[in-house]
A and B are shown apart, each in its own frame.
Chain A
Amino acid sequence: MADKSELLQGTLDLLVLRVLNGGPLHGFAIAQKIHVLSRQALEVEEGSLYPALYRMERKGWIEAEWGVSENNRKAKFYALTKAGRRQLATEQDAWARLAAAIGAVLREAD
């Protein structure tokens, strides 16, 4: 629990979209998956997750449907839309460019 990283501003959308690329998930599972995939480094706050989900739903990147979770509870599942997939590609590109740029600066600044 000690070395948790703060989520960089604006990256939550990218992570959620990327995670949903694998298939529909409910809110808890999204947070869980990001947590696991980041090797416990990233903790998604519920207070940010849900507003982000609703915002992305409004923008039409994801759509929600009620279903039944793995432990037989009613849950709302989010899935990527076509627009969401396009958005994911754009954001992934942007992230890659940013990461490369920052990496380059860090490596060669001396």
Chain B
Amino acid sequence: MQDIAFLPIGPEIVLLGAALAVLMVAVTLDLGHRMWAAISFTALALAILLSWAQWIRVDDVGPQLNYGGEGVRTASMVVMDHFSALAGIVVFVVAALALLGAWPLVESLERRGAEFVALALLSIAGLHTMAAANNLILLFIGLETASISLYVIAGIVREQPNSDEAAMKYFLLGSFASAIFLYGVALVFAGTGATSIYGGGVEDFVNGNLLNLLVNGREGVLMAGIALLVVGLGFKVSAAPFHQWAPDVYQGAAGGAVGLMAAGAKVAGFAAIARVLAGAFPLAVDIWAPSVAAVAALSVVLGTALAIAQSDLKRMLAYSGVAHAGFMLTALVGAKAGVPAMWFYLSTYAFQLLGAFTIAAAVSGPRTGASALDEYRGLAARSPVLAATMGVMMLSLAGLPFTAGFVGKVGVFAAAVEAGFLWLAVVGLVTAVAGLFFYIRVIVLMYFQQPVLAEGPGTATAAPEPSDHQRIVLGVAVAVSIGFGLVPWPLLNLVQHALPL
């Protein structure tokens, strides 16, 4: 009987337990949403502390493979290293803020709000599993736990037109991506005889250490497998040309729910990409780097070009998200050397995205899907706080100096140049400048244009006010965007250690 190490899977246990508790409390006790809030935020705080404890534990004893007994090749399912610990901290902080920002939506859903909270907790557990998995099958299970919950969350407000359409599109394309990813796992397994990443797994095979398998001449199968893994995960982080679902889903889903779907899924998706590419196949970098560079270049160009043409803020953010996915892939062409740059960009971008979607929920309403740019005309006169916050988000997303977005962009371009992809850094630089146009346009709309005359809530003459929950989210988002823009060194030092094993 082996001892089970509970620390590596601690956050998942806490979150899954909390999800069940919220559901049980909702059907047995009529205590309302305050009880759900108490359970879910306690669980998330505990999960953040456990991730922090993981980081300290790895400092002390080094990376751990859970259940990793001698001679039990299949047993090691979870890896605990600085990479998974940092992923946990970022995912849980972002998710806790997203859930906080979504609370007006939870209140408006009344009894169904408990389902939203439980599904959110389940998806958060899945998101962290993606980053901590030491087995491609477990990575797939984490991916599906997160995705299936998010399909429902996308359509949670059934009465809202287009919400069901968003859920359907997300479901069909998301499942398609999952199937492609899974076929990639199967082909990697056929090529190497392993589904685990470390400890006698795929990594050892690629490094030439796995001698007990009779799989000579299977490189082609392995290469096809890696390609399908990248395509499947590329779908999940909406990198071009696999991005078509994102604008429709972001626009159609309820305003309060998009923050979790977008920011949480991006963080975990990129953690999974980095784990697969830089963790499992670091020595095959010459083979996959050119195709990743091509996807990155296509993403930044296509995302920027299409974002310019949008008339809806959430669609615009979706296309800008395609461009940002490209910037983060730009860092990953350097394999392990690029992971710190990716982490800095990713962890600050998630807060900016969350902040921008929270403002959209405050302006257009937490249940509404669409958030037309016309609603932001003259916002500065009506809601100065919201307009100023939005301005900071836009400047940081655009990557102007003294914002976190600027430091992040410098980092990813430096990583690309170091990896020998100068052309990719140049493409990124040019599109980053072109991208200024649509970010600045939002600021111009808010500060220098008169509202279109119309009456009633959700129109350009209403004066939207953020709820107290949303104020906290916006405060943190602004603090991260400006704080890490002026003083980036603490986070830069932290991410230097957050390499995959």
* A-B interaction: no
Q: Residues on B close to A: CB < 8 A?
A: none
